[in-house]
Structure 1
Amino acid sequence: MNDTNGLVDGLLSIAGIFNLYAILLLILGGFLLWALAQGLSTVSQRLMEKIPARRFLILQISTLLSFGLYIFGSVGLVIAVLQPPKELLYAAAGSVAVALGFALKDIAASLVAGILLLFDRPFRVGDRVVFGDTYGEIVSIGLRTVRMNTLDDNLVTIPNSRFITDVVASGNAGELDMMVVTDFHLALAADINKAQALIEEVVVTSRYAYLKKPVNFTLEEVEVARMLAIRLRVKAYVLDVRYEKTFQSDIVKRGTALLAKHGIARPQPGGSL
Protein backbone atom coordinates (compact mmCIF):
# COMPACT_ATOMS: atom_id res chain seq x y z
CA MET A 1 0.00 0.00 0.00
CA ASN A 2 2.83 2.40 0.88
CA ASP A 3 4.53 1.73 -2.45
CA THR A 4 1.28 2.43 -4.28
CA ASN A 5 0.77 5.68 -2.40
CA GLY A 6 4.34 6.75 -3.15
CA LEU A 7 3.85 6.06 -6.84
CA VAL A 8 0.62 8.04 -6.90
CA ASP A 9 2.26 10.94 -5.07
CA GLY A 10 5.13 10.92 -7.57
CA LEU A 11 2.80 10.97 -10.55
CA LEU A 12 0.79 13.81 -9.01
CA SER A 13 4.00 15.74 -8.40
CA ILE A 14 5.05 15.35 -12.04
CA ALA A 15 1.58 16.31 -13.23
CA GLY A 16 1.75 19.41 -11.07
CA ILE A 17 5.00 20.47 -12.71
CA PHE A 18 3.62 20.14 -16.26
CA ASN A 19 0.68 22.50 -15.87
CA LEU A 20 -0.73 24.61 -18.69
CA TYR A 21 1.16 27.72 -17.54
CA ALA A 22 4.49 25.88 -17.56
CA ILE A 23 3.84 24.40 -20.99
CA LEU A 24 3.06 27.84 -22.41
CA LEU A 25 6.26 29.22 -20.88
CA LEU A 26 8.26 26.37 -22.42
CA ILE A 27 6.77 27.05 -25.84
CA LEU A 28 7.43 30.77 -25.49
CA GLY A 29 10.98 30.12 -24.28
CA GLY A 30 11.63 27.72 -27.16
CA PHE A 31 10.42 30.32 -29.64
CA LEU A 32 12.67 32.90 -27.99
CA LEU A 33 15.70 30.60 -28.31
CA TRP A 34 14.89 30.05 -31.98
CA ALA A 35 14.49 33.83 -32.51
CA LEU A 36 17.84 34.48 -30.82
CA ALA A 37 19.52 31.86 -33.01
CA GLN A 38 18.03 33.44 -36.14
CA GLY A 39 19.13 36.88 -34.98
CA LEU A 40 22.64 35.56 -34.38
CA SER A 41 22.68 34.10 -37.88
CA THR A 42 21.51 37.40 -39.38
CA VAL A 43 24.14 39.40 -37.50
CA SER A 44 26.90 37.01 -38.57
CA GLN A 45 25.80 37.25 -42.22
CA ARG A 46 25.94 41.06 -42.09
CA LEU A 47 29.35 40.98 -40.43
CA MET A 48 30.65 38.64 -43.13
CA GLU A 49 29.45 41.05 -45.81
CA LYS A 50 31.21 43.97 -44.09
CA ILE A 51 34.38 42.04 -43.16
CA PRO A 52 34.82 39.36 -45.87
CA ALA A 53 38.44 38.73 -44.86
CA ARG A 54 37.20 37.42 -41.49
CA ARG A 55 34.36 35.36 -42.96
CA PHE A 56 35.61 32.01 -41.63
CA LEU A 57 36.27 33.32 -38.12
CA ILE A 58 32.80 34.86 -37.93
CA LEU A 59 31.18 31.61 -39.11
CA GLN A 60 33.10 29.57 -36.53
CA ILE A 61 32.18 31.91 -33.66
CA SER A 62 28.55 31.93 -34.80
CA THR A 63 28.49 28.12 -34.84
CA LEU A 64 29.91 27.89 -31.32
CA LEU A 65 27.43 30.44 -30.01
CA SER A 66 24.56 28.56 -31.62
CA PHE A 67 25.72 25.35 -29.95
CA GLY A 68 25.83 27.02 -26.54
CA LEU A 69 22.53 28.80 -27.05
CA TYR A 70 20.56 25.66 -27.86
CA ILE A 71 22.21 23.36 -25.33
CA PHE A 72 22.50 25.60 -22.27
CA GLY A 73 19.42 27.62 -23.17
CA SER A 74 17.23 24.53 -23.38
CA VAL A 75 18.50 23.05 -20.12
CA GLY A 76 18.22 26.39 -18.32
CA LEU A 77 14.72 26.94 -19.67
CA VAL A 78 13.46 23.58 -18.44
CA ILE A 79 14.98 24.01 -14.98
CA ALA A 80 13.84 27.63 -14.60
CA VAL A 81 10.26 27.00 -15.71
CA LEU A 82 9.53 23.57 -14.27
CA GLN A 83 11.78 23.84 -11.19
CA PRO A 84 11.78 20.06 -10.73
CA PRO A 85 13.06 18.48 -7.48
CA LYS A 86 16.63 17.14 -7.48
CA GLU A 87 15.42 13.56 -7.35
CA LEU A 88 13.42 14.08 -10.52
CA LEU A 89 16.39 15.73 -12.23
CA TYR A 90 18.62 12.78 -11.38
CA ALA A 91 15.99 10.33 -12.55
CA ALA A 92 15.41 12.26 -15.77
CA ALA A 93 19.15 12.49 -16.47
CA GLY A 94 19.51 8.76 -15.98
CA SER A 95 16.54 8.01 -18.20
CA VAL A 96 17.84 10.29 -20.94
CA ALA A 97 21.27 8.67 -20.77
CA VAL A 98 19.78 5.19 -21.07
CA ALA A 99 17.51 6.27 -23.94
CA LEU A 100 20.38 7.86 -25.83
CA GLY A 101 22.57 4.87 -25.20
CA PHE A 102 20.16 2.25 -26.50
CA ALA A 103 17.27 3.70 -28.47
CA LEU A 104 19.16 6.64 -30.02
CA LYS A 105 22.73 5.39 -30.12
CA ASP A 106 23.35 6.64 -33.67
CA ILE A 107 22.08 10.13 -32.85
CA ALA A 108 24.03 10.12 -29.59
CA ALA A 109 27.17 9.14 -31.52
CA SER A 110 26.61 12.04 -33.92
CA LEU A 111 26.06 14.46 -31.03
CA VAL A 112 29.28 13.39 -29.34
CA ALA A 113 31.07 13.52 -32.69
CA GLY A 114 29.78 17.06 -33.23
CA ILE A 115 31.35 18.18 -29.96
CA LEU A 116 34.61 16.41 -30.87
CA LEU A 117 34.63 18.15 -34.26
CA LEU A 118 34.51 21.54 -32.54
CA PHE A 119 37.55 20.73 -30.40
CA ASP A 120 39.57 18.51 -32.75
CA ARG A 121 38.79 20.77 -35.74
CA PRO A 122 39.74 18.55 -38.70
CA PHE A 123 37.93 21.20 -40.73
CA ARG A 124 36.10 24.45 -40.07
CA VAL A 125 33.04 26.24 -41.36
CA GLY A 126 34.00 27.72 -44.72
CA ASP A 127 36.60 25.06 -45.60
CA ARG A 128 36.63 23.32 -48.97
CA VAL A 129 36.52 19.65 -48.05
CA VAL A 130 36.71 16.29 -49.83
CA PHE A 131 34.68 13.59 -48.09
CA GLY A 132 34.35 10.33 -49.98
CA ASP A 133 33.14 11.26 -53.46
CA THR A 134 31.73 14.60 -52.30
CA TYR A 135 33.58 17.91 -52.59
CA GLY A 136 32.28 21.26 -51.42
CA GLU A 137 32.28 23.99 -48.81
CA ILE A 138 31.31 23.36 -45.20
CA VAL A 139 28.42 25.72 -44.48
CA SER A 140 27.44 24.54 -40.99
CA ILE A 141 28.50 22.15 -38.23
CA GLY A 142 25.39 21.25 -36.26
CA LEU A 143 24.67 19.15 -33.22
CA ARG A 144 23.95 16.07 -35.34
CA THR A 145 25.06 16.76 -38.90
CA VAL A 146 27.50 18.68 -41.05
CA ARG A 147 26.11 20.46 -44.10
CA MET A 148 28.24 20.81 -47.21
CA ASN A 149 27.43 22.89 -50.27
CA THR A 150 28.86 21.28 -53.41
CA LEU A 151 30.14 23.20 -56.42
CA ASP A 152 26.93 22.20 -58.21
CA ASP A 153 25.00 24.05 -55.47
CA ASN A 154 23.67 20.88 -53.85
CA LEU A 155 23.30 20.89 -50.08
CA VAL A 156 24.67 17.61 -48.70
CA THR A 157 23.89 16.58 -45.11
CA ILE A 158 26.35 14.15 -43.46
CA PRO A 159 26.06 12.68 -39.93
CA ASN A 160 28.84 13.91 -37.65
CA SER A 161 29.82 10.35 -36.71
CA ARG A 162 30.98 9.71 -40.30
CA PHE A 163 33.74 12.28 -39.95
CA ILE A 164 35.18 10.54 -36.89
CA THR A 165 35.83 7.23 -38.68
CA ASP A 166 36.27 8.22 -42.35
CA VAL A 167 39.03 10.17 -44.09
CA VAL A 168 38.35 13.85 -44.76
CA ALA A 169 40.66 16.30 -46.58
CA SER A 170 40.50 20.07 -46.09
CA GLY A 171 41.79 22.19 -48.94
CA ASN A 172 42.34 25.44 -47.06
CA ALA A 173 42.25 24.53 -43.33
CA GLY A 174 40.55 27.73 -42.22
CA GLU A 175 42.44 30.09 -44.55
CA LEU A 176 40.85 32.24 -47.23
CA ASP A 177 43.40 31.26 -49.87
CA MET A 178 43.74 27.74 -51.28
CA MET A 179 45.92 25.89 -53.76
CA VAL A 180 44.30 25.25 -57.14
CA VAL A 181 45.85 22.63 -59.42
CA THR A 182 45.42 22.99 -63.19
CA ASP A 183 46.81 20.71 -65.92
CA PHE A 184 47.93 21.52 -69.45
CA HIS A 185 48.97 18.77 -71.88
CA LEU A 186 51.73 19.42 -74.37
CA ALA A 187 53.13 17.47 -77.28
CA LEU A 188 56.47 15.72 -76.73
CA ALA A 189 58.10 18.07 -79.23
CA ALA A 190 56.72 21.23 -77.59
CA ASP A 191 58.97 23.93 -76.16
CA ILE A 192 58.34 23.12 -72.49
CA ASN A 193 60.30 26.06 -71.06
CA LYS A 194 58.42 28.55 -73.20
CA ALA A 195 55.08 26.92 -72.38
CA GLN A 196 55.83 27.12 -68.65
CA ALA A 197 56.79 30.78 -68.94
CA LEU A 198 53.56 31.56 -70.80
CA ILE A 199 51.37 29.77 -68.24
CA GLU A 200 53.18 31.50 -65.40
CA GLU A 201 52.44 34.84 -67.07
CA VAL A 202 48.76 33.89 -67.22
CA VAL A 203 48.68 32.94 -63.54
CA VAL A 204 50.42 36.00 -62.12
CA THR A 205 48.24 38.35 -64.16
CA SER A 206 44.99 36.74 -63.05
CA ARG A 207 42.82 38.95 -60.83
CA TYR A 208 42.04 35.93 -58.65
CA ALA A 209 45.62 34.86 -57.93
CA TYR A 210 47.07 35.08 -54.41
CA LEU A 211 50.68 36.00 -55.18
CA LYS A 212 51.99 36.03 -51.61
CA LYS A 213 52.39 32.29 -52.04
CA PRO A 214 54.54 30.72 -54.77
CA VAL A 215 53.46 29.40 -58.14
CA ASN A 216 54.92 25.94 -58.75
CA PHE A 217 55.11 23.66 -61.78
CA THR A 218 55.59 19.93 -62.19
CA LEU A 219 56.24 18.02 -65.41
CA GLU A 220 55.32 14.42 -66.11
CA GLU A 221 55.13 12.19 -69.14
CA VAL A 222 51.60 10.76 -69.39
CA GLU A 223 49.38 8.98 -71.89
CA VAL A 224 46.67 11.04 -73.60
CA ALA A 225 44.33 9.38 -76.09
CA ARG A 226 46.77 6.42 -76.34
CA MET A 227 49.65 8.78 -77.10
CA LEU A 228 52.49 10.03 -74.95
CA ALA A 229 52.33 13.67 -73.93
CA ILE A 230 53.83 16.05 -71.36
CA ARG A 231 51.56 17.09 -68.52
CA LEU A 232 52.39 20.59 -67.31
CA ARG A 233 50.77 20.94 -63.88
CA VAL A 234 50.53 24.41 -62.37
CA LYS A 235 49.95 24.81 -58.64
CA ALA A 236 48.82 28.32 -57.72
CA TYR A 237 46.79 29.89 -54.91
CA VAL A 238 43.45 31.60 -55.29
CA LEU A 239 42.89 34.62 -53.04
CA ASP A 240 39.47 33.38 -51.84
CA VAL A 241 38.11 29.82 -52.02
CA ARG A 242 34.86 31.18 -53.46
CA TYR A 243 36.75 31.95 -56.67
CA GLU A 244 38.32 28.48 -56.99
CA LYS A 245 36.63 27.42 -60.23
CA THR A 246 36.56 30.96 -61.61
CA PHE A 247 40.33 31.14 -61.13
CA GLN A 248 40.86 27.75 -62.74
CA SER A 249 38.63 28.64 -65.69
CA ASP A 250 40.51 31.93 -66.15
CA ILE A 251 43.85 30.09 -66.26
CA VAL A 252 42.60 27.46 -68.73
CA LYS A 253 40.90 29.96 -71.04
CA ARG A 254 43.73 32.47 -71.28
CA GLY A 255 46.45 29.83 -71.08
CA THR A 256 45.02 27.80 -73.97
CA ALA A 257 44.71 30.92 -76.11
CA LEU A 258 48.27 32.02 -75.33
CA LEU A 259 49.76 28.60 -76.09
CA ALA A 260 47.95 28.55 -79.43
CA LYS A 261 49.08 32.10 -80.23
CA HIS A 262 52.75 31.17 -79.71
CA GLY A 263 52.46 27.91 -81.61
CA ILE A 264 53.06 25.58 -78.67
CA ALA A 265 52.29 22.05 -79.91
CA ARG A 266 49.45 20.22 -78.11
CA PRO A 267 48.43 16.55 -78.29
CA GLN A 268 46.08 15.91 -81.22
CA PRO A 269 43.91 12.78 -80.87
CA GLY A 270 44.03 10.78 -84.09
CA GLY A 271 47.09 12.68 -85.23
CA SER A 272 50.78 12.77 -84.49
CA LEU A 273 52.48 14.45 -81.58
Structure 2
Amino acid sequence: MNESNNIVNDLAVVVELFNVYALLLLFIGGFMLWAMNWGLNRLSQKVTDKMPTRRFLILQVTTLISFVLYTVGSIALIIGVLNPPKEFLLAAGGSIAVALGFALKDIAASLVAGLLLLFDRPFRVGDRVSFDDVYGEIVSIGLRTVRLQTLDDNLVTIPNSRFITDVVASGNAGELDMMVVTDFHIALDEDIEKARALVEEVIVTSRFAFLKKPVSFAIEEVIVGYKLAIRLRAKAYVLDVHYEKAFQSDIVVRVSQRFVEEGIARPPQ
Protein backbone atom coordinates (compact mmCIF):
# COMPACT_ATOMS: atom_id res chain seq x y z
CA MET A 1 0.00 0.00 0.00
CA ASN A 2 2.80 2.40 0.92
CA GLU A 3 4.56 1.64 -2.34
CA SER A 4 1.39 2.40 -4.31
CA ASN A 5 0.98 5.67 -2.44
CA ASN A 6 4.56 6.65 -3.24
CA ILE A 7 4.01 6.00 -6.95
CA VAL A 8 0.82 8.06 -6.92
CA ASN A 9 2.60 10.88 -5.10
CA ASP A 10 5.49 10.81 -7.62
CA LEU A 11 3.07 10.94 -10.54
CA ALA A 12 1.26 13.85 -8.91
CA VAL A 13 4.55 15.73 -8.59
CA VAL A 14 5.36 15.11 -12.27
CA VAL A 15 1.91 16.25 -13.42
CA GLU A 16 2.20 19.34 -11.26
CA LEU A 17 5.61 20.20 -12.68
CA PHE A 18 4.67 19.71 -16.34
CA ASN A 19 1.49 21.77 -16.42
CA VAL A 20 0.39 23.74 -19.46
CA TYR A 21 1.92 26.96 -18.14
CA ALA A 22 5.31 25.30 -17.52
CA LEU A 23 5.33 23.63 -20.95
CA LEU A 24 4.54 26.96 -22.59
CA LEU A 25 7.42 28.64 -20.75
CA LEU A 26 9.76 25.81 -21.74
CA PHE A 27 8.74 26.19 -25.38
CA ILE A 28 9.25 29.96 -25.29
CA GLY A 29 12.59 29.56 -23.51
CA GLY A 30 13.76 26.96 -26.01
CA PHE A 31 12.76 29.21 -28.88
CA MET A 32 14.68 32.11 -27.31
CA LEU A 33 17.80 29.94 -26.98
CA TRP A 34 17.51 29.01 -30.65
CA ALA A 35 16.97 32.66 -31.63
CA MET A 36 20.00 33.78 -29.61
CA ASN A 37 22.16 31.13 -31.25
CA TRP A 38 20.85 32.10 -34.70
CA GLY A 39 21.61 35.76 -34.00
CA LEU A 40 25.09 34.84 -32.78
CA ASN A 41 25.81 32.95 -36.01
CA ARG A 42 24.53 35.86 -38.12
CA LEU A 43 26.70 38.31 -36.18
CA SER A 44 29.68 35.98 -36.54
CA GLN A 45 29.15 35.84 -40.32
CA LYS A 46 29.06 39.65 -40.58
CA VAL A 47 32.21 40.05 -38.47
CA THR A 48 33.93 37.36 -40.55
CA ASP A 49 33.08 39.22 -43.77
CA LYS A 50 34.65 42.39 -42.36
CA MET A 51 37.67 40.63 -40.84
CA PRO A 52 38.46 37.66 -43.14
CA THR A 53 41.97 37.20 -41.76
CA ARG A 54 40.46 36.46 -38.33
CA ARG A 55 37.90 34.03 -39.73
CA PHE A 56 39.15 30.95 -37.89
CA LEU A 57 39.36 32.68 -34.50
CA ILE A 58 35.85 34.14 -34.89
CA LEU A 59 34.38 30.75 -35.84
CA GLN A 60 36.10 29.02 -32.92
CA VAL A 61 34.82 31.59 -30.41
CA THR A 62 31.31 31.38 -31.91
CA THR A 63 31.29 27.59 -31.61
CA LEU A 64 32.38 27.71 -27.96
CA ILE A 65 29.80 30.39 -27.06
CA SER A 66 27.05 28.42 -28.82
CA PHE A 67 28.02 25.28 -26.89
CA VAL A 68 27.93 27.10 -23.54
CA LEU A 69 24.69 28.89 -24.45
CA TYR A 70 22.78 25.68 -25.18
CA THR A 71 24.21 23.75 -22.22
CA VAL A 72 23.85 26.39 -19.51
CA GLY A 73 20.62 27.78 -20.97
CA SER A 74 18.91 24.39 -21.06
CA ILE A 75 19.87 23.58 -17.47
CA ALA A 76 18.83 27.03 -16.22
CA LEU A 77 15.56 26.83 -18.13
CA ILE A 78 14.57 23.48 -16.64
CA ILE A 79 15.48 24.45 -13.08
CA GLY A 80 14.07 27.97 -13.34
CA VAL A 81 10.74 27.07 -14.93
CA LEU A 82 9.96 23.73 -13.34
CA ASN A 83 11.63 24.47 -9.98
CA PRO A 84 11.47 20.79 -8.99
CA PRO A 85 11.99 19.66 -5.39
CA LYS A 86 15.52 18.61 -4.47
CA GLU A 87 14.41 15.04 -3.76
CA PHE A 88 12.71 14.83 -7.14
CA LEU A 89 15.83 16.13 -8.88
CA LEU A 90 18.00 13.51 -7.21
CA ALA A 91 15.57 10.66 -7.92
CA ALA A 92 14.87 11.75 -11.50
CA GLY A 93 18.53 12.42 -12.17
CA GLY A 94 19.54 8.96 -11.01
CA SER A 95 16.84 7.22 -13.02
CA ILE A 96 17.54 9.26 -16.14
CA ALA A 97 21.27 8.68 -15.83
CA VAL A 98 20.83 4.91 -15.67
CA ALA A 99 18.36 4.86 -18.57
CA LEU A 100 20.44 7.15 -20.74
CA GLY A 101 23.57 5.25 -19.89
CA PHE A 102 22.20 2.17 -21.65
CA ALA A 103 20.05 3.73 -24.35
CA LEU A 104 22.26 6.66 -25.33
CA LYS A 105 25.77 5.44 -24.66
CA ASP A 106 26.91 6.28 -28.22
CA ILE A 107 25.44 9.78 -27.99
CA ALA A 108 27.01 10.24 -24.55
CA ALA A 109 30.37 9.17 -25.99
CA SER A 110 29.96 11.75 -28.76
CA LEU A 111 29.07 14.47 -26.23
CA VAL A 112 32.19 13.76 -24.18
CA ALA A 113 34.23 13.60 -27.38
CA GLY A 114 32.77 16.98 -28.41
CA LEU A 115 34.10 18.52 -25.19
CA LEU A 116 37.51 16.97 -25.82
CA LEU A 117 37.54 18.32 -29.38
CA LEU A 118 36.78 21.85 -28.16
CA PHE A 119 39.64 21.88 -25.67
CA ASP A 120 42.19 19.49 -27.19
CA ARG A 121 41.60 20.97 -30.67
CA PRO A 122 43.11 18.42 -33.09
CA PHE A 123 41.42 20.63 -35.68
CA ARG A 124 39.38 23.82 -35.63
CA VAL A 125 36.39 25.30 -37.41
CA GLY A 126 37.65 26.40 -40.84
CA ASP A 127 40.39 23.76 -41.13
CA ARG A 128 40.73 21.58 -44.21
CA VAL A 129 40.89 18.00 -42.96
CA SER A 130 41.09 14.47 -44.30
CA PHE A 131 39.09 11.90 -42.36
CA ASP A 132 38.64 8.34 -43.56
CA ASP A 133 37.85 8.85 -47.28
CA VAL A 134 36.36 12.35 -46.82
CA TYR A 135 38.18 15.64 -47.42
CA GLY A 136 36.80 19.12 -46.85
CA GLU A 137 36.41 22.10 -44.52
CA ILE A 138 35.15 21.89 -40.95
CA VAL A 139 32.09 24.17 -40.78
CA SER A 140 30.89 23.37 -37.24
CA ILE A 141 31.84 21.40 -34.13
CA GLY A 142 28.65 20.63 -32.24
CA LEU A 143 27.68 18.80 -29.06
CA ARG A 144 27.28 15.48 -30.87
CA THR A 145 28.65 15.81 -34.40
CA VAL A 146 31.19 17.56 -36.58
CA ARG A 147 29.96 18.90 -39.93
CA LEU A 148 32.38 18.92 -42.84
CA GLN A 149 31.79 20.60 -46.21
CA THR A 150 33.47 18.68 -49.04
CA LEU A 151 34.91 20.38 -52.11
CA ASP A 152 31.94 18.96 -54.05
CA ASP A 153 29.66 21.01 -51.75
CA ASN A 154 28.35 18.00 -49.83
CA LEU A 155 27.68 18.43 -46.12
CA VAL A 156 29.04 15.38 -44.23
CA THR A 157 28.01 14.80 -40.60
CA ILE A 158 30.40 12.71 -38.49
CA PRO A 159 29.87 11.65 -34.83
CA ASN A 160 32.40 13.27 -32.51
CA SER A 161 33.41 9.91 -31.06
CA ARG A 162 34.91 8.87 -34.42
CA PHE A 163 37.55 11.57 -34.15
CA ILE A 164 38.79 10.27 -30.80
CA THR A 165 39.68 6.81 -32.11
CA ASP A 166 40.38 7.38 -35.84
CA VAL A 167 43.18 9.28 -37.56
CA VAL A 168 42.37 12.78 -38.84
CA ALA A 169 44.79 15.04 -40.76
CA SER A 170 44.50 18.83 -40.73
CA GLY A 171 45.97 20.59 -43.75
CA ASN A 172 46.28 24.09 -42.29
CA ALA A 173 45.97 23.62 -38.48
CA GLY A 174 44.16 26.89 -37.86
CA GLU A 175 46.15 28.97 -40.38
CA LEU A 176 44.73 30.72 -43.43
CA ASP A 177 47.48 29.46 -45.74
CA MET A 178 47.97 25.78 -46.61
CA MET A 179 50.37 23.66 -48.61
CA VAL A 180 49.04 22.48 -51.97
CA VAL A 181 50.83 19.57 -53.67
CA THR A 182 50.62 19.28 -57.47
CA ASP A 183 52.28 16.64 -59.65
CA PHE A 184 53.63 17.13 -63.18
CA HIS A 185 55.08 14.37 -65.37
CA ILE A 186 57.63 14.75 -68.16
CA ALA A 187 59.52 12.35 -70.41
CA LEU A 188 62.80 10.84 -69.17
CA ASP A 189 64.96 12.65 -71.73
CA GLU A 190 63.59 16.14 -71.03
CA ASP A 191 65.53 18.93 -69.30
CA ILE A 192 64.47 18.50 -65.67
CA GLU A 193 65.92 21.80 -64.43
CA LYS A 194 64.21 23.74 -67.21
CA ALA A 195 60.87 22.08 -66.43
CA ARG A 196 61.28 22.73 -62.70
CA ALA A 197 62.12 26.40 -63.35
CA LEU A 198 59.01 26.79 -65.53
CA VAL A 199 56.76 25.27 -62.86
CA GLU A 200 58.26 27.50 -60.16
CA GLU A 201 57.83 30.59 -62.35
CA VAL A 202 54.14 29.78 -62.85
CA ILE A 203 53.62 29.21 -59.12
CA VAL A 204 55.24 32.42 -57.90
CA THR A 205 53.31 34.50 -60.44
CA SER A 206 49.94 33.02 -59.45
CA ARG A 207 47.60 35.48 -57.73
CA PHE A 208 46.66 32.75 -55.24
CA ALA A 209 50.22 31.97 -54.08
CA PHE A 210 51.38 32.73 -50.53
CA LEU A 211 54.97 33.78 -51.19
CA LYS A 212 56.04 34.21 -47.56
CA LYS A 213 56.55 30.45 -47.50
CA PRO A 214 58.93 28.69 -49.91
CA VAL A 215 58.15 26.67 -53.02
CA SER A 216 59.83 23.24 -52.94
CA PHE A 217 60.07 20.22 -55.23
CA ALA A 218 60.40 16.46 -54.90
CA ILE A 219 61.69 14.92 -58.15
CA GLU A 220 61.76 11.19 -58.82
CA GLU A 221 61.29 8.50 -61.45
CA VAL A 222 57.84 6.89 -61.48
CA ILE A 223 55.86 4.49 -63.66
CA VAL A 224 53.27 6.20 -65.87
CA GLY A 225 51.34 3.95 -68.24
CA TYR A 226 53.82 1.08 -67.72
CA LYS A 227 56.73 3.36 -68.71
CA LEU A 228 59.28 5.32 -66.72
CA ALA A 229 58.78 9.08 -66.41
CA ILE A 230 59.97 12.00 -64.30
CA ARG A 231 57.57 13.32 -61.70
CA LEU A 232 57.91 16.91 -60.53
CA ARG A 233 56.00 17.21 -57.26
CA ALA A 234 55.54 20.93 -56.57
CA LYS A 235 54.81 21.98 -52.98
CA ALA A 236 53.54 25.55 -52.65
CA TYR A 237 51.28 27.48 -50.28
CA VAL A 238 47.93 29.03 -51.14
CA LEU A 239 47.17 32.33 -49.38
CA ASP A 240 43.69 31.19 -48.24
CA VAL A 241 42.34 27.64 -48.04
CA HIS A 242 39.19 28.78 -49.86
CA TYR A 243 41.34 29.20 -52.99
CA GLU A 244 42.91 25.72 -52.80
CA LYS A 245 41.39 24.30 -55.99
CA ALA A 246 41.51 27.63 -57.83
CA PHE A 247 45.24 27.79 -57.08
CA GLN A 248 45.83 24.23 -58.23
CA SER A 249 43.78 24.71 -61.41
CA ASP A 250 45.64 27.93 -62.22
CA ILE A 251 48.99 26.16 -61.87
CA VAL A 252 48.01 23.11 -63.95
CA VAL A 253 46.55 25.15 -66.84
CA ARG A 254 49.45 27.59 -67.09
CA VAL A 255 52.18 24.94 -66.66
CA SER A 256 50.59 22.85 -69.42
CA GLN A 257 50.63 25.89 -71.72
CA ARG A 258 54.28 26.66 -70.91
CA PHE A 259 55.34 23.06 -71.50
CA VAL A 260 53.76 23.19 -74.96
CA GLU A 261 55.38 26.56 -75.74
CA GLU A 262 58.82 25.35 -74.61
CA GLY A 263 58.50 21.93 -76.27
CA ILE A 264 58.76 19.92 -73.05
CA ALA A 265 57.32 16.49 -73.83
CA ARG A 266 55.02 14.55 -71.58
CA PRO A 267 55.58 10.80 -70.94
CA PRO A 268 54.76 8.67 -74.01
CA GLN A 269 51.47 6.79 -73.86
Shorter-chain TM-score tier: over 0.9
| 1:160-199 aligned within 5 A | 160-199=160-199
Does the alignment pair 1:26 with 2:26?
yes
5+ residue gaps in structure 2?
none
Paired-residue identity, %? 70
Q: Give the Cα separation in 1 of the matches to 2:35 and 2:246.
A: 37
| 1:81-100 aligned within 5 A | 81-100=81-100
Q: Give the Cα separation in 2 of the matches to 1:222 and 1:12.
A: 78
Q: Give the Cα separation in 2 of the matches to 1:105 and 1:3.
A: 31
Q: Give the Cα separation in 2 of the matches to 1:155 and 1:66.
A: 20
Tell me the amino acid that sits aligned with residue 4 of structure 2. Answer: T
CA contact (8 A) 1:100 1:107 kept: no
Q: Give the Cα separation in 1 of the matches to 2:179 and 2:230.
A: 22
Corresponding residue pairs, total: 269
Q: Give the Cα separation in 2 of the matches to 1:232 and 1:135.
A: 24
5+ residue gaps in structure 1?
none
Q: Give the Cα separation in 1 of the matches to 2:196 and 2:124.
A: 35
Q: Give the Cα separation in 2 of the matches to 1:4 and 1:153.
A: 58
Counterpart in the other structure of 2:124? 124
Q: Give the Cα separation in 2 of the matches to 1:7 and 1:263.
A: 90
Q: Which moved more, 1:96-105 or 1:119-128?
A: 96-105
Instruction: Please give the secondary structure, in 1, of the residue aligned with 2:197.
Output: helix
Q: Give the Cα separation in 1 of the matches to 2:179 and 2:75.
A: 43
Q: Give the Cα separation in 2 of the matches to 1:6 and 1:92.
A: 14
- Normalising by structure 2, report the TM-score: 0.97
Q: Which moved more, 1:91-100 or 1:145-154?
A: 91-100
Q: Give the Cα separation in 1 of the matches to 2:142 and 2:251.
A: 36
Which structure 1 residue ranges, 4+ long, deviate > 4 Å from structure 2? none
- RMSD of aligned residue pairs (Cα, Å): 1.1
Q: Give the Cα separation in 2 of the matches to 1:18 and 1:127.
A: 44
**Structure 1 position 187, deviation (Å):** 0.8
**Structure 1 position 37, deviation (Å):** 0.6
Q: Give the Cα separation in 1 of the matches to 2:198 and 2:130.
A: 31
Instruction: Please give the secondary structure, in 2, of the residue aligned with 1:143.
Output: coil
Instruction: Please give the secondary structure, in 1, of the residue aligned with 2:143.
Output: coil
